[in-house]
């Protein structure tokens, strides 16, 4: 597992998800270094992320519905600043 991301965009992602989902666990991982020079690399070092989030808001929802909640919280960032986002979303008590 990578170290948690700490850049300005990663911090904004974490703040948005915290506000929208009240997560019991949240980790934002910056995967951008693995994609340096690839399509979508804007040179900022913050273009590709993985979010690992556990929230009661996901209880009873399927994977697609959970991803939609994450995408909704980050919609403007996905349209302008985030090139790729991997999502691992679970409800409390799930593996």
- pLDDT tens digits, one per residue of 24-74: 999 999 988 775 656 655 555 678 899 999 999 999 999 999 999 999 999
Q: Is residue 56 part of a domain?
A: yes
Give the pLDDT confidence score for residue 6 in this predicted structure: 74
The residue range of the domain holding 70 is 8-90
Residue 3 within a domain: no
CATH number of the domain bearing residue 59: 3.30.300.90
DSSP string, 2-58: PPBP-SHHHHHHHHHHHHHH--SEEEEEE-GGGGTTSTT--SSS-SEEEEEEE-GGG
Residue 69 lies in a domain: yes
Q: Is 77 within the bounds of a domain?
A: yes
Residue 1 lies in a domain: no
Q: How many domains in the chain?
A: 1
What's the pTM?
Answer: 0.85
Domain contains 95: no
């Amino acid at each position: 597992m990578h170290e948690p991301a700490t850049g300005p965009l990663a911090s904004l992602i974490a703040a948005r998800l915290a506000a929208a989902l009240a997560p019991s666990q949240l980790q934002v991982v910056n995967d951008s270094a693995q994609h340096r020079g690839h399509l979508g690399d804007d040179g900022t070092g913050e273009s590709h992320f993985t979010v690992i989030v556990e929230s009661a808001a996901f209880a009873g929802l399927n994977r697609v519905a959970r991803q939609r909640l994450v995408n909704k919280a980050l919609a403007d960032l996905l349209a302008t600043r985030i090139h790729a986002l991997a999502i691992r979303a679970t409800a409390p008590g799930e593996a």
